[in-house]
Amino acid sequence: MCNYLSRSKLVIMAKKILITGASGLIGKRLTELLLQKGYQISVLGRRRRVNALNSFVWDIDKGIFDPLALDGVDTIIHLAGAGIAGKRWTAKRKREILESRTKSTALLFNALKNGKHTVTSFVSASAVGYYGFVGEEVFTEKNNPGTDFLAQVARQWEAEADKISELGIRVVKLRTGIVLSEKGGVLAEMVKPVKLGIGSALGSGKQHLTWIHLDDLCEIFVKAVDDSNMAGAYNAVGPQWLTNIEMTKAIAKVLNKPLWLPPVPGFVLKIILGEMANLVIYGSKVASAKIQKAGFEFRFTSLEEALEDLLLKQSTSKNE
């Protein structure tokens, strides 16, 4: 009886959440998790989605927003933004990376400022790229932003999110590190050459990578939705950072593959990738202490645990 009442209470009190960028790597898993936990979910995107979710359309470039998207919504989770990898950083692409974040956030601000709504919380993605890349320094939320392109993107993105707090809405900004998932992202790209027996470190191999398992990241988003004491910026990263070569070796060990090739020189990566090579040539150490102090407990605290869950689980599911 008690369990039944608890579940009933959860359904009655379930928050209604509007998610932007729900079709991305993080958005898909986060939507699954929130639905499993009993939340009501609506999604906002460039196209209407044909599924069981309430789907609404916006056009960031034209400033078009469907006001019905805010109907009954308690919390907005803002994940929308053009991917930073996959395409060479031309001037046009860099503008798209920036404006897909700043213009979309500004559009949400204007919709909240000028329309009727019940939104009390706004949880925005950001990135540890906010800090830039500076040697061996350990970055906390108190550090100032860096000066490179990605740092300025994150700074301007967060500045647009901060405007929403002026409306009396609680704003949480989650600065994500390298998100590990078996379904895509950085890990999938690192795994490919290792599986073929031609894996190697990138650049010096000594650059630090701050990572987080996708499920831990999604649980941090859930906590940000539910914990009214959370406000401002939090590093959404795991408690462990490793060098590029250490992560590459760990992947090879879990997959039981040899690792014998020397690191790919940084200048070669720059010839191939241009400025985007900075994503893999440089790294940073980012601390998770603040989110842990807020009460979050990581499920995956070591890279080996995370890789075994992701890579071995993937292999097992394919063989079943």
Please report, for the chain, the start and end positions of each structural domain, with discontinuous segments joined by +: 2-319
pTM over 0.95: no
Measured CA to CA, the distance from residue 202 to residue 193 in angstroms comes to 12
Measured CA to CA, the distance from residue 36 to residue 100 in angstroms comes to 29
Which helix H or strand E contains 20, and what residues bound it? Answer: strand 16-20
Average pLDDT, the chain: 88
pLDDT digits (tens, 9 = 90+) for 40-60: 999 999 887 666 578 999 999
Q: Within the chain, which residues score under 70 in pLDDT? A: 1-14, 49-52, 267, 269, 272-273, 275-278, 313-320
* Rounded (10°) angle between helices 25-36 and 214-226: 60
Measured CA to CA, the distance from residue 270 to residue 196 in angstroms comes to 23
pLDDT digits (tens, 9 = 90+) for 74-96: 999 999 998 887 788 899 999 99
CATH fold of 2-319, please? Answer: Rossmann fold (3.40.50)
